Amino acid sequence: MAHTYISDFKDHVGQTITAKGWVYNARFGKANIFVEMRDGSGYTQCVFSADDLDEATFEAAKKLTRESSFAITGKVVQDERQVGGYEIHAEQLEVYDYAVDYPIKVNETEHGVRHLADRRHLWLRSKRQWAILRIRNEIIMAIHDFFQGQGFVQMDAPIFTGNACEGTTDLFETDFFGETAYISQSGQLYGEAMAMAQGKIYTFGPTFRAERSDTPRHLAEFWMIEPEMAFFDNEMNMDMIEKFARHVVSRCLENRQTELQILGRDIEKLESVKQVFPRVSYDDAIDILTGKKEVNGKNAITVQEEDLAAAKSGIEEKKKDIADREAAIKAGMKKGARKFNEAKIIALRSEIAELEEACRNIPKWIASAKNFVHGEDFGNSDETVLTRVFSAPVMVYNWPAKVKAFYMKEVDGDPNYVKGVDLLAPDGYGEIVGGSERETSLEVLVRKIKEHDLPMEAFEWYLDLRRFGSVPHAGFGLGLERMVRWVCGIHHLRETIPFPRRYGRLLP
């Protein structure tokens, strides 16, 4: 018999259907067993009642452990109080497999990260991971819809490449039938060739960087979306980045409310994409970062000092709250109230830990911002400090040539600067997009390839794009996982992709 997905229960209220899935959680009473079932499409409550079932079926239900797989036949009942808004009253049960000692608890935060990462193949089943990866899927669909709706053609760049794109330090090298090859850092150079054929294209593929550091925002394998547009300058590029980011985030706000709620995402913060994205030059950004220049009356350094003071007083308040609750528990209270307060204390402790981390970090961030050397690239904390004074994502343009790639177009009359642009997400999420207008002059490109110490032979094909009908063009790259991280409001990229590949992690 065909089964019904939990996401379709709304169309089956009052009907007897069969659902198939796994035990997410279970509570066992004498007369009733409540099983929270997940089937991939959603979550629902299954009620097994001793009064309604024959003994064998009720006994079978009694043995349901976490992640056991089963089919249930029963009536769909609307119940606002239940997860998903429905429950199913069991009439029949068929067990596929009783799972023994499933190694991940419902509350996954009780495990260390390593325990979870080692079991990523199972961890994917947890509610939080389910929500994150459904948002990832929404983002992917929104990206395709956006570009397809604007007449872009999706084209694929090769993964094996004979040349670097973004600098040689983090290239993965491999053997290609006896020749040295690299696995792609970026599809951009091929994207430029394809844009000269199709006008507006985007690539959507895996990219690889040998980042030998364990940071929350670097993966060794990540997915990049790289649009490239003929006859676009960097202004038009920035218009496109802004419209694109707004479209993708807005789609998630519209279609993924349940998932965002599971993640506890502060929706109001994401709504900032609906505002105009401020555009600041690199030089202005440095003045803002170092506190020389204010934004809407806000000084970046002062704001950090205020955040630090707020964190300190927050810690004191929460400590007092914990002490009060502990005293009240000691004085005696009913079991339910005690449980509630104990859970609250655990939550308060983790909030304190976060504030303590802020207290350790902010002084370092302030020092780094104040001592920022003009001409350097932004560090992680510099992006956090800079974006904190804005209420929307920020675009920083016109970068020092020496921190950016060889292909970026020089600013007219000032070869020390290039027409690059980074999109910085607020609240510490940092760089999401990097892009630029591309150099069109054959002479300048040849000089830049030499200056960057890149092998000219490998770029001959690329230089042909400037020999035959060179036109102004621009494009950008979105790191998919960085976008997922920001939309979901999570700390680490390891949770934004089904099977992360990063320094020190090849299994599972």
166 vs 307, which CB is nearer to ligand 4AD? 166
Q: CB 423 → ligand 4AD: shortest distance, Å? A: 7
Q: CB 167 → Mg ion: shortest distance, Å? A: 10
21 vs 227, which CB is nearer to ligand 4AD? 227
| Closest to 17 (Cα-Cα) out of 75, 56, 89 | 75
285 vs 355, which CB is nearer to ligand 4AD? 285
What does the binding site for ligand 4AD look like in residue numbers (CB under 6 A)?
165-166, 186, 188, 209, 211, 218-219, 222, 224, 226, 431-436, 475-477, 479, 481-482
Q: Which residue's C-beta sits nearest to Mg ion?
A: 434
Binders of Mg ion in range 418-437 (CB under 5 A): 434
60 binds, among ligand 4AD, Mg ion, none (CB under 5 to 8 A by kind): none
23 binds, among ligand 4AD, Mg ion, none (CB under 5 to 8 A by kind): none
Q: List the x/- string, 379-418, binding to Mg ion by CB under 5 A.
A: ----------------------------------------
How far is residue 261's CA from residue 85's CA, in Å, rounded to a whole number? 15
Helix or strand run (H / E) with residue 317 = helix 300-331
How far is residue 231's CA from residue 475's CA, in Å, rounded to a whole number? 11
Instruction: Please enumerate in sequence order all residues whose Cβ is within 8 A of that of 206, keeping only pairs 6 or more positions apart, or say none.
Output: 159, 184, 221, 222, 223, 224
- CA 187 distance to own-chain centroid: 21
90 vs 195, which CB is nearer to ligand 4AD? 195
> How many residues at the interface with Mg ion, by CB under 5 A?
1
Give me the phi and psi of 112, to 5 degrees please. Answer: -75, 160
259 binds, among ligand 4AD, Mg ion, none (CB under 5 to 8 A by kind): none
74 vs 500, which CB is nearer to ligand 4AD? 500
CB neighbours of residue 27 within 10 Å: 10
Residue spans of beta strands (DSSP E) within 269-367: 279-281
Each residue of 440-472: b (16+ CB within 10 Å) or e? eeeeebeebbeeeebeeeebeebeebbeeebee
90 vs 432, which CB is nearer to ligand 4AD? 432
251 binds, among Mg ion, ligand 4AD, none (CB under 5 to 8 A by kind): none
Each residue of 2-25: b (16+ CB within 10 Å) or e? eebebeebeebeeeebbbbbbbbb
| Closest to 225 (Cα-Cα) out of 247, 254, 258, 253 | 247
Q: List the x/- string, 214-253, binding to Mg ion by CB under 5 A.
A: ----------------------------------------
